Amino acid sequence: MITYRELVAELPSEYETLKQSVHRFAAQVMRPAALALDRMSDPGEVAAPDSPLRQVLRAAWGLGYHTVGIPVEYGGLGLRGLARHILLEELGWGSAGLAISIAVAGFPFSAVAACGEGPLIERLVKPFVADREAKFIGCWAISEPAHGSDELGVATDEFYDPKIRGQVAAILDGDSYIINGQKAAWISNGAIASHALTYLSLERSIGLSGGGVAFIPLDLPGVSHGGIFNKIGQRDLAQGELFFDDVRIPKEYVFVGAAGYQLTLTRTITAATTAMAAVFTGVARAAYEEAMSYTQQRVQGGKTLADHQLVRKRLFDMFTKVEAARALSRATMIYNHATQSPSLENAIAAKIFCTEAAFQVTSDAVQLFGANGLSKDYLVEKLFRDARVSMIEDGSNDVLALTGAHHLILRSGPS
């Protein structure tokens, strides 16, 4: 049951319907599968064809959730602003790892819908929208063994340093590009993806700023999958390495060149960090709700935990952090979807605040559960591990803060 008070006084009825339907999916489909996937000792089992992960994705595709970022005119849900936040928060409440898997799956296709020409949309986007069996699964292939958060330092001095170059490079050969290099083991959906939105190096003489964006089908000759990331949290998110060995793609599949790379990367980071803020608002809320329920049942010192003053104080602090996370992440998403110039610094602030709030709230939940909070029999233990990962993925919070500060200073300028 959804327990938070909706502070939008006149929430449109269709938004309320969306909230209820996504919450049911999160509770009935995502939560049970996420717990089963989390307990698998071998991450290869998570990516297996008969894994519960596949069942979740097929159910999500059946509801059209994979098309959340595809415009309505191309057959997608085209959710923006508040509606997008509601969906992502509820998915995050169900499972952070599965929420990210569903959200990232549409990245290559929504990017083509936003930047590609008509023929590309017909060839690449429409089949994805029509898919209801999760045959088309995208990933965001940006991180590399030697490059992680630094690749997100858009417009910083390091971004233009010719000595700092991406490891996956594209070379033009007639009407094709030839791709070579490796993407890292923490590529979300990398272990199960059919297509990759690949951020690569085009003009190496200008460092990371000379990048490009390519749509790469992963069944092409020369593409191979490497190791699967074995991590402490979000174990239901199938992350893995990708290798490109003389992979040939049509020239038009590189649909963003070096001239447009900085703007595209800025918008990508803005969208990704804003989505992370929404998802981990859901994680924080899940931990708070678990703690609220548990402390009203568990008896210590002759009364329920919730009757102890220190517990009440901690519960209210948790509530405050969840509400603040929702307010900031919602405001950021609504603004960034409504303007032609979305705010990178606000998106980064929301990602950092909400992921750290999630970590603090899940840690408090574990503390309130006592020894039971350390047991895998209780959800809060998984929520805590999932939240810890969030402060590193999609950009380490410390490094993202440096990028955000750089953009704040650029925007303010000398007085």
- Statement: 138-259 belongs to CATH 3.40.50.10490: no
pTM for the predicted model, two decimal places = 0.96
- Statement: 261-412 belongs to CATH 3.30.1520.10: no
pLDDT average, residue stretch 175-194: 97
* Per-residue pLDDT tens over the stretch 128-171: 999 999 999 999 999 999 998 988 889 888 999 999 999 999 99
Q: Report which residue type is found at 398.
A: D
> What pLDDT, on the 0 to 100 scale, is given for residue 346?
97
Q: Give the chain's end-to-end CA distance (angstroms, integer).
A: 51
* Per-residue pLDDT tens over the stretch 378-404: 999 999 999 999 999 999 999 999 999
Closest CA to 31 of 41, 42, 22, 43: 22
Question: What is the pLDDT of the chain when averaged over all its residues?
Answer: 96
> What pLDDT, on the 0 to 100 scale, is given for residue 117?
77
Q: Indicate the pLDDT class of residue 3, thresholds 50, 70 and 90.
A: confident
Any idea where the domains of the chain sit in the sequence?
Answer: 13-130, 138-259, 261-412
Q: Indicate the pLDDT class of residue 1, thresholds 50, 70 and 90.
A: low
Topology of the domain comprising 13-130: Butyryl-Coa Dehydrogenase, subunit A; domain 1 (1.10.540)
> What pLDDT, on the 0 to 100 scale, is given for residue 414?
67
pLDDT average, residue stretch 12-37: 97
CB atoms within 10 A of CB 231: 18
For the cut 70, the answer to whether the pLDDT of residue 180 exceeds it is: yes
> What pLDDT, on the 0 to 100 scale, is given for residue 2?
61
- Distance (Å, whole) CA 266 – CA 215: 18
For residues 34 and 91, the answer to whether their CB atoms sit within 8 Å is no
Q: Indicate the pLDDT class of residue 415, thresholds 50, 70 and 90.
A: low
Q: Indicate the pLDDT class of residue 115, thresholds 50, 70 and 90.
A: confident
Q: Indicate the pLDDT class of residue 77, thresholds 50, 70 and 90.
A: very high
> What pLDDT, on the 0 to 100 scale, is given for residue 413?
72
Q: Which two three-digit tokens encode residue 35?
A: 């717990």
- Distance (Å, whole) CA 228 – CA 44: 7
For the chain, percent of residues with pLDDT exceeding 70: 99
